[in-house]
Structures are given as C-alpha cells and as structure tokens.
Amino acid sequence: MLESLRLFSLAAQISVTTLADVFDEGGLFSQAMPGYRPRAQQREMAEAVQRAIRGKKALIAEAGTGTGKTYAYLVPALLSGGKVIVSTGTKTLQDQLFHRDLPKVRTALKVPVSIALLKGRANYVCTYHLERALADGRFARKEDVTHLHAIARFAATSRDGDKSGCSAVPESAPVWQQAVSTRDNCLGSECPNHQDCFVMQARRQALEADVVVVNHHLFFADVWLKDEGAGELLPRCNTVIFDEAHQLPEVASLFFGETVASGALLELARDSREEALAAAKDFVHLPAAAMALDKATRDLRLVFEQDSLRSPQHLLADNERFHAALGDLEGALGKLFELLADQAERSEGLENCRRRAAEQLAVLRSWCAGLRAPTFEAAAAAASKPAVAEAGKDAAAEPGSDDVFWMEVSPHGFQLNITPLDIARLFARQMDGERAWVFTSATLAMNGNFKHYTHEMGLWEADQGTWESPFDYKQQALLYVPQGLPEPNSRDYTAAVVEAALPLVQLAEGHAFLLFTSLRAMREAHELIKTRLAGLGLDYPILLQGEGTRTELLERFRTQPNAILVASQTFWEGIDVKGEQLRLVVIDKLPFAAPDDPVLAARIDKINKAGRNAFIEYQLPRAAITLKQGAGRLIRDETDQGVLMICDPRLVEKPYGKQIWKALPPMLRTREAGVVERFFARMKTRSQGDQPATETVED
C-alpha cells in the first residue's frame, strides 16, 4: 500500500511531458545539453519503449551506434512514474549510467526521481572480514599488509564502501579477497557489523530508489535468483531494461546452471578451518578435514598439465588419475560436511560453512553421477548416506536431460560445470505480464532478423524494432578486405595478416586496434609487428592485452601518440575511443566460436538432431553479431573517420560470408589497396581542415 502511494505521489510530481518536448529541436535536451542534435531514430526508439512500458510488454530494440539508445530508454523510463531496474553488461557502463547519463537526463527532464547503484557484494568492503584479516595478520606478500591498511583507512571514511573508490589499492589486488564478503561467507543478520554493512546499505537504498542500476550478473545472482532478500527489487518494479542485451544468453546460461569451482572449495576449506579454531578448538578433526579438502582440491588440478582446457565430461571417462582425484575430492568434501553438520550449532560461522558444504557436495555428486565409471562409483559408495540425504536438502534440483556436463581448467584452478542447453523456456517462465521488459543493444539482429535472439531467450511474443545508426558511414569509413590471403586455418595465416595490415598501420601512423580471435594469434601477431616496425625504424608504442588492466591499456592508448593495441575478443566490445587517436581497426578472422567448446558442440548436436541447421540458425548469427561488435569500435561519433580491415577471405568468397557482409554498417567497401591509400589521404586532408565543434552525447 505504501509503495503504491509513493509511486502515485511520484507520478503526480512529474509534469506532463511528451517525447517531442524532450527530443525535438528546441526541446528539453537541446536546452540542457549544448551540442545535442535531434535524431529521428532516437525519438522513434523512445516511442517504442514508452509503448512497451505503458502496455507492460516485452520489446527487443536494436539501435545502431550513435542512435543514442541510452537516452531513448531512460526518458520514457523516468517519465513513467514507476520503479525501474536498468541492467547493464559491464560495471563500466553501470558506473557511466549512474554517474553521468542518469543525472543528465534527470536534470534535463526536471523530474524528482531518486536513483541508486547496486553492485555485487564483492565490490563492497566487508568490515567484519577486514577486521578479521587485520587481526589474523597472515599475508602472502609485503604489499598485502600495505594494501589492507589502505583499505581500512578507506572504509573508515567512505560513504558507500565501493572498492572502485579506493584508488590506493588496485581492484585486481589479491588482498581484496580478505576485505570483501561472498554469498558463501556472509553471516547476514548474525554479523556483528550488520547495521553498518555497506552491502545492506546499498540494498536499502536500492529498495527505496525509483531507478536502480545493476549489471546482468547481479540481476541473475541477487535479483532474479532472490539471494538474501535482494529479490524484493523485482516484484516492486514496473520496468526492467537490459542494456547490452546481446550478452544475456551467456550470462543466463551461467546462472541457470551449476558449478563446483576450485576457488570456492579452497575458500570453504579456509573458512571452515578458521571457524573451527575460533568456535570449536576442542574438536581437532574439523581443521584436519578442512586441510584434506584443500589438498584434494589442489591435487585434482594437478592431474592436468595443460594451462587451459575445456572438455566435455565423457572425454574424461577413461582418465584414471582424474577418477581417483575426483573420488578423493568427493570423499574429502563429504567428510568435511559430516563434521560441520556435527558442530554447526556452535556458531553461525560453522553453520554457514555447513550450508556451503552441503550445496557444493550436492552439485559435485550430480556432476559425478554422469561418469558411471567403476573407479568413481567405488569412491562414491564410500561417502556416507546421511551426508547425501542432508546435502540434497540444501542443493538445487537434479540436472535435466538437456544439461551439458563439462570441465574447465585454468592456470590457477578448475570448474566442474552443469550448463543448461535451453535457457529459453527457463527465461520465459520467469517473465510475467506485470511489468515491461526491454532488451536493447547495438547488435541483436542478423540483417534485421531477431529470430536467433528470440529463440535463445524465449521472447517469441516480444515486439521488435531496429533503428539504423545516423552516422554517414560511406563518408566516414572504409571496409577493406585484402586480396590474396591464405585460408584462415593455414599455419602462416597470422603472419599473412600482419604483412597485409602493416602498410595500413604505416598509413594510419599507428592509431590502430589489431583484434584477434584467439590469444595464440594475438601473441604471435604482437611479436611479428614489433619486429617488423623496428625493422622499418618506426618507434610506435605497441600495447598488448594482459600487460595491464583494460582501463590502464585504454588510457595509455588514448594518451600515447601513434599507439597500437594488439588484443583478443576482450576488446571487441565496450570500448569507446573517439577522434583521430583510432583510425584503423584490423580483425583477423570471422569470429566463429570454437566448435570443440563443450556447450557449443552439444547445442549444435541438439539443433541438428531436431532436423534444423545449426550453422545457419545458431553459429552464423552469433558470428555476425560478434563481428558487428568488433566493427563498432571504429566510428564512435559524427566526426570520426577510419578504415575497418577484415582479413578473412571467407567474408567475400563464401555464400555465408556474404550474409555477414550485408550485416555490417554500410561503409564504403573495397578490396583494392589503392582505394585504401586514397581514403587515408582524404582523411588527412579532412583532419587538417576545420571540424564542427559538437558535444558527443552517448552511444
């Protein structure tokens, strides 16, 4: 009742404003934002979003770069008078929305709308765990001591505890793990610092705000899955808007699935040992069991000599070392669970560890049940029946027949994954007719067709709209596909790409992104281009993905003259470099996902067995959308100019490549090196002339 009264009061305070009053020449945006230019596409998209909000419908909206989609959905959302959740693909965009875009729109519209920023709990300092870490005094490195004390000083003065505000400590510093909480080790209302908890403070503000900005991972983990009360947000809202919605299928698969991760097991072992020493000192078996779990977890990783591996479960069936290590891990986790269950009533921390052990044990046994190998079954039989029954109470339901069981190994750990193949029905079941759902991105459709996306997400009844970019691509950009390159799977392909790209790098005088579809190709290209440029006497700064954070590398690229960035698909989206600093984007191959990926292989097999064509229906649209993301790095505003070089000959020589060709922005297109030279000459002439001074609004 109180919530209804609040929304009614808010709606009454918002003056009757039409979208024309906002977006047209001389409107509220023109008055409030110098340099704002009305765009028909922006207003049309805003009208579609407004219809969806008023009709409580679902809308899929693709808006090309420069359309101004952020303002197009924010304006009708803020004028609706209801509670709105905006979910983004990255924390970077989340911060941009909260700190820049929302305040700008709110000021221009003159509406009394309250806003809140809500991130995952790992982004906020936990004073309880911070105090414990300081008191414990065990650090792996000297820097950890300095960093932890800097975090303590930050926490004492910070209003929100958001670790992004602690500039003295890098966000990637390992010591942050000791200064934040996780879903697993949070004590909730039993925490002695509960009243002053930064996470709870952020959640209270979110519940009270009219517009809440989250990210996709948080939406699924803490809102949709209703973790620890944050699920209160969804029933109260009138509108959910997903920006960068092309990322949703992958994120949804992650959260609708189940995972046993080595990191979570090691944390459980560590926390169990610490809680035992604090609340059950007389029970010596518990620390020993925690150490056994720690050892079993590390031993399982040591089975694999590779730095990285993604394997379906069935390919591991004959690996006896893996079976033995997996059996040891299951036995160690089962034993720890039994002992925690016996001692859990002695402290809230031990009960928390018991719950975590139960959840991990149930998922581990679900994963192991698929092996059906005698070696493992013998080990599994040794586990206690009470532990199985008790673990089942706290765990998720048994996996379905469409689930894919697979393992991922990284340099520092492993994950045992159960991933659902079909998230469409899972997602569709969660939606309702009580609120509007808006899905927007610059890349959702394949030549105006949303069939691929609607099938993946279960949005069969959603309204659809596509708005082209207002940029003059034929004047601003050139798409170049060089002639004479070998087949993309040939051994010398990356060397050929570098040789073909080098003349363009020279014409652009650096100012280039070289984007590769694999880390191996990226590293090879980096070494080759360093050698070739040195031989030509060109001292251009060459930046490599991994030699610093993404933010650090982008800042260096923006500020260093003639810089070249060599990167993988991490830099294909969410990157915004305007102006002459970026004149050339080179992409080595069409970005088809590796066919040996366990989830992709299973999905392809399922689609083909149903009598459909997985390549045309699934693989091709995904590659086209990913390529559009990479191509979108080049032209970011009305005055940008540049060349997009796509080296893969399949783009023009294969029938399916021509479909992707048509999906790219309508740039001037050529295969002739001479045309590229003339285009760069024209760019140079233009850059020396007078350019109109305009403010770029948002992407």
Is residue 578 in a domain?
A: yes
Taking 70 as the pLDDT cut, the residues of the chain under it are 1-16, 225-231, 372-401, 688-699
Domain contains 130: yes
In which domain, by residue range, is 639 found? 473-688
Is 665 in the same domain as 525?
yes
Residues 427 and 519 in one domain: no
Residue the block writes with tokens 């269950």? 341
Note whether residue 320 is domain-resident.
yes
630, 565 in Cβ contact below 8 A? no
Q: Which of 435, 467, 499 is the last residue of a domain?
A: 467
Domains: count for the chain? 4
Residue 158 domain flag? yes
CA distances from 93 to 101, 188, 246, 359, 605 (A): 10, 29, 14, 33, 36
| Tally of CB atoms within 10 A around 314 | 13
7 belongs to a structural domain: yes
The CATH number given to whatever domain includes residue 82 is 3.40.50.300
Burial of 80 (0-12, 13-18, 19+ CB in 10 A): buried
Q: Are residues 412 and 275 in the same domain?
A: yes
The reply to whether 488 falls in a domain is yes
- Tell whether pTM > 0.75: yes
Has residue 11 been placed in a domain? Answer: yes
In angstroms, the CA 273 to CA 291 distance is: 8
Instruction: Looking at the structure, tell me whether residues 618 and 482 fall in a common domain.
Output: yes
Q: How many Å apart are CA 314 and CA 320, to the nearest integer?
A: 13
* Neighbouring C-beta atoms of residue 4, cutoff 10 Å: 8
State whether 504 and 416 are in the same domain.
Answer: no
Query: Are 480 and 401 members of one domain?
Result: no
Name the phi and psi angles at 467, rounded to 5: -130, 120
Q: Where are the beta strands (DSSP E) in 30-155?
A: 58-63, 84-88, 115-117
Residue 383 confidence (pLDDT): 41
Q: Are 527 and 535 in contact (CB under 8 A)?
A: no
Rounded CA gap, 661 and 669, in Å? 10
- Within a domain: 186: no
Sheet holding 309-312, edge to edge: 258-261, 413-420, 403-410, 309-312
Residue 92's pLDDT is 81
Say if residue 427 is in the same domain as residue 402: no
CA gap 610, 46 in Å, rounded: 39
Looking at the structure, tell me whether residues 433 and 567 fall in a common domain. no
* pLDDT at position 6: 54
Radius of gyration in angstroms for the set of CA atoms belonging to the chain, rounded to a whole number: 27
Are 581 and 558 contacting, i.e. CB atoms less than 8 angstroms apart? yes
Distance between CA atoms of residues 104 and 115, nearest Å? 12
Total residue length of the chain: 699
Helix (H, G, I), strand (E, B) or coil at 624: helix
User: Is there a single domain that holds both residue 560 and residue 675?
Assistant: yes
Distance CA 344, CA 445 (A): 52
Question: For position 376, what pLDDT does the model report?
Answer: 42
State whether 35 and 110 are in the same domain: yes
d(CA 44, CA 68) in angstroms, rounded, equals: 11
C-alpha 289/C-alpha 275 separation (Å) is 13
Residues 667 and 587 in one domain: yes
Same domain, 170 and 149: yes
